Amino acid sequence: MISYQIAEHGRPLQKVLSETPKPQGTEVLVRVTRSGVCHSDLHIWDGYFDLGGGKRFYVKDRGCVPPFTMGHEPFGIVEAVGPRAKGVKVGQKRIVFPWIGCGQCAMCKDELDNYCTAMRTIGVVKPGAYSTHLLVPHPKYLVDAKGIDEAFAATLACSGVTAYSAVRKLAKLTARDSVAVIGCGGVGLATIAVLRATGVRNVIACDIDAAKLEAAKKMGAKQTVNTGEPDAAKALAGIAAAIDFVGMPATAALGIGALRKGGRYVICGLYGGEFTHPLPPIAQRAIGIIGSYVGNLQELKEVVALAKKKKLKAMPVATRPASDAAQALEDLKSGRVVGRVVLDFETAAA
Ligand SMILES: [Zn+2]
Ligand SMILES: [Zn+2]
């Protein structure tokens, strides 16, 4: 198989040839056809997350040690199945749910794999989908996506399920309520689509990049706010919720500060830094501050169902040959990507 690997953090990915693995037990071998490039891959590539105050969380401390294959938005075709893999057939096209837990703990038994403390995430801890082949530990993590464009289907494995899970964490909204989406990269745009698909009319898209705000409008945002402008806080005042896909001190201050009483701030972004806030107003304003990290298998199935019913608008997706993986990361890092880049492994494998 061919993989595009981190040989050294922050250095261009290397093309590596290796033996294609054979599925054992309940494992399934998937031949990857499409693989989304997610913004969080940039942190894994760099090798750390910024915790603020000069502190860092190093990805090597949770098992991501080079040489490592990233890629947690896989779509592909079942190529081989282990002797104990039931309910799956060679040739089936599937999205791979990557947020896989230990399979043993109480959270995993409740299918809340993303709350497991010993996750085996594909492309984060285990070898990922920047590769022609991918081993999946169990067929239950394969989700049918019939009728959905394959590149768009790949993006549902992270950006789609992350958006869906974040939206599910909002409190009950009235028809007048506005929801701000802070950061209109791939996941932000997917969130606008989920909000619209679930009946939220007043979506305010926030970004510092005019091209991303334009894309957000096309996804169904009613209003856009350039958060680089000095009156951004005023424009957002009174929102019922903010979903923050940046996750830096300035965006947290903006989102939390703009909430109406009883509003909710959901943080998904991992940009980094630290944040302090006076405690009494959290109680007095009855606001909620909640983190959301990817989503669970059921949530992936639900967002896929929305896409199958054509309720979910697809964000702009640019498909590039897999051999462009290193350049795709560079482009994402420099902010040149609107929507999602998805790697195409069919042309690369040819
Ligand atoms: Zn991701
Ligand atoms: Zn577990």
Average pLDDT of the chain, as a whole number? 95
Please name the residues in contact with 262: beta carbons below 8 A apart, sequence gap of 6 or more. 171, 240, 285, 286, 287
Q: Which pair of structure tokens corresponds to residue 85?
A: 């893999």
Distance 153 CA to ligand 2 centre (A): 26
Strand, helix or coil for residue 59? helix
- Would you state the structure tokens that stand for residue 161, as one six-digit string? 């399920």
CA 149 to each of CA 198, 244, 306: distance values in angstroms, whole numbers, following the listed order: 21, 27, 13
Rounded Cα–Cα distance for residues 244 and 259 (Å):
13
Please write the tens of the pLDDT for every residue from 316-335: 999 999 999 999 999 999 98
pLDDT at 214: 97
Q: How confident is the model at residue 336 (pLDDT cuts 50, 70, 90)?
A: confident
CA of residue 328 to ligand 1 center, whole Å: 14
Who surrounds ion ligand 2 at CB < 5 A? 101-102, 105, 108, 116
How far does the centroid of ligand 1 lie from the alpha carbon of residue 72, in Å?
6
Q: How far is the CA of 37 from the centre of ligand 1 (A)?
A: 8
Q: Give whole-number Cα distances, 255 to 39, 130, 205, in Å.
A: 21, 34, 12
Percent of the chain with pLDDT over 70: 99
pLDDT given for residue 171 in this prediction: 93
How far, in Å, is the centroid of ligand 2 from the Cα of 13? 31
Out of 118-132, 139-153, 336-350, least confident range: 336-350
Question: Which ligand ends up closest to the CA of 104?
Answer: 2
Reported as a single tens digit per residue, the pLDDT across 247-286 is: 999 999 999 999 999 999 999 999 899 999 999 999 999 9
Instruction: Give the ligand with the smallest distance to the CA of 108.
Output: 2
Instruction: Report pLDDT for 335.
Output: 86
Strand locations in the chain (E): 2-6, 14-17, 28-37, 48-52, 55-58, 68-69, 74-81, 93-96, 133-136, 142-144, 178-182, 202-207, 223-226, 239-244, 259-267, 288-291, 317-321, 340-344
What's the rounded mean pLDDT across residues 97-101?
Answer: 97
pLDDT for 260 equals 97
Mean pLDDT to the nearest integer, 9-20 = 96
CA distance 191 to 196: 8
Residue in the structure block whose two tokens are 């991501």: 64
* Confidence check: pLDDT of 292 > 80: yes
Long-range own/partner contacts, residues 40-44 (CB < 8 A, 24 or more apart):
40/72, 40/158, 40/270, 41/70, 41/71, 41/72, 41/123, 41/329, 41/332, 42/329, 42/332, 42/333, 43/270, 44/6, 44/68, 44/70, 44/124
Residue 37 CA: which ligand is closest?
1
Beta-strand pair 142-144/68-69: unpaired
Note the ligand closest to the C-alpha atom of 295: 1
Task: Tell me which residue of 198, 254, 244, 195 sits closest to 219, measured CA to CA.
Answer: 195
Using pLDDT thresholds of 50, 70 and 90, give the confidence band for residue 64.
Answer: confident
- Quickly tell me which residue has 């510092």 as its tokens: 208
- What is the average per-residue pLDDT within 41-51? 92
Q: How far is CA 97 from the centre of its chain?
A: 11
Distance 104 CA to ligand 2 centre (A): 5
When pLDDT is cut at 50, 70 and 90, the band that residue 52 belongs to is confident
Q: How far is the CA of 118 from the centre of ligand 2 (A)?
A: 6
What secondary structure does DSSP assign to 266-297, as a single string?
Answer: EE-----------SHHHHHTT-EEEE--S--H
* Ligand 1: centre distance to CA 273 (Å): 19
Q: Assign 350 a pLDDT band (cuts: 50, 70, 90).
A: very low
317 forms beta bridges with: 340
- Distance between Cα 115 and ligand 2 center (Å): 7
| Cα–Cα dist 41/264, whole Å | 27
Query: Which amino acid is present at 137?
Result: P
